[in-house]
Structure 1
Amino acid sequence: MQTSSDLKTLLNKIDRRGYPAYKDTLGVYQFPGYTLSIDHVQGDPFAAPSKLSVCVRGKQAAFPAALYRLPCQRIALQDELTRRFGRLASQASFQAKGSGHSGLIAVSRCGQEVLERTACSLSPESGDILLRLEVGFPANGRTINARELEKILFDLLPRCVKGALFYRDADRAHFQAVADLAEDQQYIRQKLPELGLCAFVADGSILPRASGVSALPMKGAVPFQAPKELSVTLQLPHRGAISGMGIPRGITLIVGGGYHGKSTLLKALELGVYPHIAGDGREFVITDDTAVKIRAEDGRSIQRTDISMFIHDLPNGKDTSHFTTEDASGSTSQAANVVESLEAGASLLLMDEDTSATNFMIRDQLMQRVVRREMEPITPFLDRIEELYQQHGISTILVAGSSGAYFHAADHIIQMDRYIPRDITAFAKREAQAFPDERFPLSPASMPDFARCPKPSPEFRSGNRIKLKSLGRDGVSIQRETIDLRYVEQLADGEQSAALGYCLLYAQKHLMDGRRTLRQIVEALDWLMETQGLAALCGVRTAPPFLARPRTQEIFACLNRFRSLNLS
């Protein structure tokens, strides 16, 4: 390992030389209190910025082990350190001048959710902190400006490191509050099955967001207040008693007039699979972490998926037990999304009438009389929803605003009235007695065997460079194919999409052998990230600084939308 003085000498030596001479700085350097590693140097000032990492030994960082005793606390602490460093870096960025990206100092920009990221990792054994970032190495034109880089590496960056990654001068009460909140959130999540619940929404939660492009809480929004029939009180380890609405397992219908908060509640439940930071308003909106939002997705590809429990006897004789299409309809895509979610281990389905295919959800009585049952290949979700719960333990939370078809099937009916939930189950059931039950009696459907096995692709094992590009939350591009993830609505961050690309690359290179099932492959990816960290997908030291861990369910979603995947 070289010293910081060696780096300063080297910078003096290469000053005003051609930009490629910056490559000489690659290596690890000891600075007071931490080590700096220059892992990748950009080709020119207009290229993607250089990749650096900072390592602070546990004894020097000195964060008490009690702050990261639990995995959820460790992830929350890593998240907080990333946020702290990011605030300081944004103040220091571009204070050093030059062309292109010169002077940039960047780390992950965290949203409202607390996610495990490659940006910052903390060893649970030693307390060592590794922080990854990008820096734009300064240049005048394409000539090295070493004086400005020296300003970054010896002045601006040390201030960010010392202000963010050392406990001795930190707001200790704040760090303790971060750890306590993480433990309280995890406590609620663990209590849900014991209480027979699939979700919990605390009284006082602020569910509406500031706007369609802002995830911040809306100012002046109506605080959430649970109806007394569904009110649950929990005794949290740190916060103490907390009350809110517990949504029981089974079938729950959310109804109400337009703009009264139905979809707002569902959106909060969708993202309740992740913990949220203090002040978000949804800190104590906790959902079964296997929950999957289901919607229609016209045009998506489907490969060898058994959708026969919903679609069968097609006029063209196509086999729906191994259904394949490059251009799915609304109903077939939603059927596939349900079945693939079950394959991914979901025990809760979330649906909104607004984003569902009508013919997949219901067939009213008049339509059943006009178009006979034997002429209709679609079995509506309404006819399977009770079976999914009673036979397979799959709960459903469904938003409906125009059809009362699900009143007969629902176990609980919640009406949103000016953002206030009311339990109207008894009233709705009485009213439903005056209307015929439109469900069709069916024999139980067998659960698919989920034995799909992807075959290896020679392209990924040839040793040639694979082009991978993140498209934010919209998807990821691999070679010449774009995997469309726009309708995978529980992706909270574009860095998760980028990580999904690396999951696919790792699976293609190391796991897809034609014998492992898709389930076994995803389990292996989860185990790798759980035991070796997210960076293990792409090499620990060379891992990109901008990746966030996706859930099991989103890994399945990505693989299922990869058109080049060869399934047998």
Structure 2
Amino acid sequence: MRDFSSMWSIDFLVDPLESRHRYHHSNGITNGSTTASFLVTASIPLKDFLGDIHQTSYQEVQQAGGRAARVAIADFCARYFVRQECKELKEIDNNFRSVSLETLDQALLYSKRRQRYQNGSKVCPPYVVERSDFYCQDDNLNLMLRINCCTNHGTPNLQDVEDTCTIPCQQLLSKIFSLDSLIPELLHHIACTVLQQRIRQQLMTMEAVAFLGNGSILPRKSGKSHAPMASPPAVPFQAPKDSRMSQSISIDMGPLAKYLAKSTTPSLQVNNHNMVTLSGLVVPGGITLICGGGYHGKSTTLQAIAMGVYDKIPGDGREWCVSVSSAVTVRAEDGRYVNNCNISAFISNLPTPPGVTKAMDTKHFSSQDASGSTSQAANVVEAMEMGATAMLVDEDISAANFMARDGRMRALVMDESITPLLYRVNGLYQTHKISSVVVVGGVGDWLDVPHNVLLLDKYVAYDATKKAQSISYQFSYGHVQYAGRGVVHRLEWDRSGTPIPRRPLDSFAQQYGSDVSVSILDGGHALSLHRDNDDSDAMQVIDDDEEGCADASRIQQFLSRKQLYASGVCVAWLLQRAPNNPHAGLQSLLQQLDDLLDNGGMNQILQDLREERNGSKHSKAWIHTLETVGYLERPRSFEIGQVLTRLHGIKMEEIPVEDDGEEEAARLEEERKKKALAELWAKRKSKSIE
């Protein structure tokens, strides 16, 4: 066993949760002993931590894997630490009876209300994401943990712990992370993560949306479990034979290739030239339908694509299900807050209520309580605004009237305000190169628009593209003209419907200029931003005044409460930076945030939120994080943007753009089309009356 205890740099901090922690650990302690907890930060150079691993030096791993390898190392160490049973040293000296280490969120499990979660605290979700407690930076592995001290005489202070526990902590960390026997598992973990990143990069060069590897286990053990379902009964995914979607992709993995050789996935092959080949289904760019009967695996397949934006650990079953990082799930959200959003491409000519003289402008749509169709339209447009290149849509959680209108309903309801998504997906792809993957099982009109159709029958995938085209031609729905605007199901995208970059209004953002706290509401399904000097209870805010609250219960690609809380912290950072960037739209602000997270990690955000008058070493945001979730998990920029735009009370303003004359021409053309459409409806109405 390699001893590298002296290589750890140790520092101790006062624990803000010490009183809560002391209560738990004092239970069962007798003989006058007392307990106390502190925070410990530990750091070790990665080259010393890993050593010379299987004739592959740290430099080779670093060069082959880069940033993805560092994230994988930190993730593996966090999982390995949680799995360890013995994290305690006893009889340190005459006063210190024992010291033990635990993760920062462990103390939050001690209240009686959440006691039932303690047994499940060792189960880590299978997603490889950056954390604020285990992370690699500046070629060092950095940890932040909680140390529990049991003493014979009195409560120890910080100086006592520094004097007595530094060397025991080094020894304990060296004992816990004696990875010599686990080096193959660590390297496989790194290689698996790096390979997923490179598949994602290759999908972008192929202008594809996702890759589903053959042999993948898509269904989960249960609706609340991250674990894969046993096979059987789960049916391993297989790409349909003789389909252009069935492809093999090859990735150069360099020196990491050999650590994938023992993979149990039959679709993965490693040759002698560091090339890794995977066979499976490539979801191409364009419009792809996933069809099939009820309970045949449609939504499960789409869910695998949605979660493909995250890297997974080996053994998850979906580690070779990879999607481009800019794929976003859009759905209906009845009741969501919307402000100044251009949904005119989907919603127009809304009726004016009695007594109201001004018609509702859907180019600047705002609502405290959006309907299913208007909320889903806003979700599509905001995904465009944030830079999405693929939209994932499931009819089960979509507004029916936003998805499609059949011929009979068009004949009955002529004055319809909604242009369904069905009519727009081709225009979105042709104009903006935004692909759509849509789960459909009940509306055949969708067969008029796709480039590819995947049919699931008893969990087996078939390529039904040609059959769908034949059915579409037979029923001829796709040949109906839409008032001179083109084929009814393949409308061109109206330029006037393209979202103009928006930013938070300074007057709103400045309300959160300092002393901002984030609270988790509704059991982890919503959050609230509020001033720290506000004495009102956060839970009372949602009853009396919802300003600053965001409902995240239907943001589909969130992973955890920690990620939701981290999104709230990032939103606070965005609101504080927006007034200093008057020409930066939402996408630009999110890109600035992503760059900061890439360079400094989640802890950089917490430090940036430090109050000027706060003389402590850490910000209040950092302390609130410890008190609420323990540590942060990095969210995607899309989920951060979704939380921001759902904040009740937020005011968004459009950033002026130069008019090159095309906008006026587009406006005149739009008016001409509307006039032609109105004349067509008038003729049809007159005929129906006759």
Report Cα offsets for 1:354-412 as digits up to 9, x if no partner: 0000010111111111111xx21111001111100111101000001111110010111
Structure 1 residue aligned with 2:493: 444
Instruction: Report the identity percentage.
Output: 32
Structure 2 Cα separation of the partners of residues 95 and 259 of structure 1: 55
Provide the TM-score with structure 2 as the length reference.
0.70
Contact 2:78 2:134 in 1 (8 A): yes
Contact 1:297 1:334 in 2 (8 A): yes
Structure 2 Cα separation of the partners of residues 475 and 153 of structure 1: 40
Structure 2 residue aligned with 1:466: 516
- Whether 1:528 aligns to 2:578 is no
Specify whether residues 170 and 506 from structure 1 end up closer, same or farther in structure 2 by C-alpha distance, changes over 3 A only. Answer: farther
Comparing 505-514 and 185-194, the one that deviates more: 505-514
- Whether 1:386 aligns to 2:426 is yes
Contact 1:298 1:328 in 2 (8 A): yes
Report Cα offsets for 1:88-140 as digits up to 9, x if no partner: 2x6548999xxxxx9772257741111011121223x5x32111223456699
Residue 144 of structure 1 aligns to a residue whose secondary structure is coil
Q: Which amino acid aligns with 2:606?
A: C
Specify whether residues 305 and 513 from structure 1 end up closer, same or farther in structure 2 by C-alpha distance, changes over 3 A only. Answer: farther
Report Cα offsets for 1:225-282 as digits up to 9, x if no partner: 1002021112233242221011111111111111111011000000000111000001
Specify whether residues 521 and 196 from structure 1 end up closer, same or farther in structure 2 by C-alpha distance, changes over 3 A only. Answer: closer
Structure 1 Cα separation of the partners of residues 175 and 89 of structure 2: 18
Structure 2 Cα separation of the partners of residues 95 and 567 of structure 1: 58
Q: Aligned ranges for residues 465-544 of structure 1 at < 5 Å?
A: 465-470=515-520, 474-479=525-530, 480=538, 481-513=548-580, 515=582, 516-539=584-607, 542=618, 543=622, 544=625
Structure 2 Cα separation of the partners of residues 301 and 93 of structure 1: 49
Structure 2 residue aligned with 1:118: 132
Q: Report the CA distance between 1:163 and its aligned residue.
A: 3.9
Specify whether residues 103 and 476 from structure 1 end up closer, same or farther in structure 2 by C-alpha distance, changes over 3 A only. Answer: farther
Structure 2 Cα separation of the partners of residues 420 and 77 of structure 1: 36
Structure 1 Cα separation of the partners of residues 553 and 412 of structure 2: 37
Q: Which amino acid aligns with 2:61?
A: L
Q: Aligned ranges for residues 84-123 of structure 1 at < 5 Å?
A: 84-88=80-84, 91-92=86-87, 105-107=102-104, 110-123=124-137
Q: How many residues align?
A: 525
Specify whether residues 164 and 561 from structure 1 end up closer, same or farther in structure 2 by C-alpha distance, changes over 3 A only. Answer: farther
Q: Report the CA distance between 1:160 and its aligned residue.
A: 5.1
Structure 2 residue aligned with 1:427: 467
Comparing 184-193 and 58-67, the one that deviates more: 58-67
Q: Report the CA distance between 1:527 and its aligned residue.
A: 1.4
Structure 1 residue aligned with 2:535: none
Specify whether residues 58 and 234 from structure 1 end up closer, same or farther in structure 2 by C-alpha distance, changes over 3 A only. Answer: closer
Structure 1 Cα separation of the partners of residues 76 and 492 of structure 2: 52
- Whether 1:207 aligns to 2:242 is no
Structure 2 Cα separation of the partners of residues 185 and 79 of structure 1: 15
Residue 447 of structure 2 aligns to a residue whose secondary structure is coil
Structure 2 residue aligned with 1:18: none
Across the aligned residues of Structure 1 and Structure 2, the Cα RMSD in angstroms comes to 3.1
Provide the TM-score with structure 1 as the length reference.
0.85
Q: Aligned ranges for residues 334-373 of structure 1 at < 5 Å?
A: 334-372=376-414
Contact 1:231 1:245 in 2 (8 A): yes
Gaps of 5+ in 1: 1-30, 97-101
Q: Report the CA distance between 1:157 and its aligned residue.
A: 5.1
Structure 1 Cα separation of the partners of residues 78 and 294 of structure 2: 39
Specify whether residues 507 and 407 from structure 1 end up closer, same or farther in structure 2 by C-alpha distance, changes over 3 A only. Answer: same
Report Cα offsets for 1:3-54 as digits up to 9, x if no partner: xxxxxxxxxxxxxxxxxxxxxxxxxxxx843232223423652269754321
Gaps of 5+ in 2: 23-36, 52-57, 92-98, 106-122, 258-269, 271-275, 353-358, 483-487, 531-537, 539-547, 609-616, 654-690
Structure 2 residue aligned with 1:130: 142
Q: Which amino acid aligns with 1:174?
A: E
Residue 76 of structure 2 aligns to a residue whose secondary structure is helix
Residue 190 of structure 2 aligns to a residue whose secondary structure is helix
Q: Aligned ranges for residues 234-383 of structure 1 at < 5 Å?
A: 234-236=249-251, 237=253, 238=257, 239=270, 240-316=276-352, 317-372=359-414, 375-383=415-423
More helix by share: 2
Structure 1 Cα separation of the partners of residues 502 and 652 of structure 2: 10
- Whether 1:190 aligns to 2:242 is no
Report Cα offsets for 1:441-488 as digits up to 9, x if no partner: 455311122234431544322x5x333234575232322443211111
Structure 1 Cα separation of the partners of residues 13 and 424 of structure 2: 54
Residue 346 of structure 2 aligns to a residue whose secondary structure is coil
Structure 1 Cα separation of the partners of residues 406 and 347 of structure 2: 17
Structure 1 Cα separation of the partners of residues 89 and 341 of structure 2: 51
Structure 2 Cα separation of the partners of residues 47 and 301 of structure 1: 39
Specify whether residues 455 and 37 from structure 1 end up closer, same or farther in structure 2 by C-alpha distance, changes over 3 A only. Answer: same
Contact 1:67 1:77 in 2 (8 A): no
Structure 2 residue aligned with 1:46: 20
- Whether 1:406 aligns to 2:491 is no
Contact 1:45 1:136 in 2 (8 A): no
Structure 2 Cα separation of the partners of residues 360 and 275 of structure 1: 32
Comparing 381-390 and 537-546, the one that deviates more: 537-546
Structure 2 Cα separation of the partners of residues 435 and 415 of structure 1: 19
Contact 1:491 1:550 in 2 (8 A): yes
Comparing 37-46 and 70-79, the one that deviates more: 37-46
Structure 2 residue aligned with 1:556: 641
Specify whether residues 138 and 318 from structure 1 end up closer, same or farther in structure 2 by C-alpha distance, changes over 3 A only. Answer: farther
Structure 2 Cα separation of the partners of residues 363 and 156 of structure 1: 70
Specify whether residues 62 and 218 from structure 1 end up closer, same or farther in structure 2 by C-alpha distance, changes over 3 A only. Answer: closer
- Whether 1:180 aligns to 2:232 is no
Residue 111 of structure 1 aligns to a residue whose secondary structure is coil
Structure 2 Cα separation of the partners of residues 293 and 325 of structure 1: 21
Structure 2 Cα separation of the partners of residues 306 and 160 of structure 1: 57
Contact 2:384 2:499 in 1 (8 A): no
Residue from 51, 64, 67 that aligns with 2:61: 67
Structure 1 Cα separation of the partners of residues 77 and 168 of structure 2: 17
Q: Report the CA distance between 1:206 and its aligned residue.
A: 0.4
Report Cα offsets for 1:416-461 as digits up to 9, x if no partner: 1111110111112212323242674455311122234431544322
Q: Which amino acid aligns with 1:358?
A: A
- Whether 1:57 aligns to 2:106 is no
Q: Which amino acid aligns with 1:524?
A: Q
Specify whether residues 473 and 77 from structure 1 end up closer, same or farther in structure 2 by C-alpha distance, changes over 3 A only. Answer: farther
Structure 2 residue aligned with 1:76: 72
Structure 1 Cα separation of the partners of residues 410 and 633 of structure 2: 47
Report Cα offsets for 1:52-92 as digits up to 9, x if no partner: 3211234542451333331111111111111112222x654
Structure 2 residue aligned with 1:35: 9
Structure 1 Cα separation of the partners of residues 526 and 61 of structure 2: 35
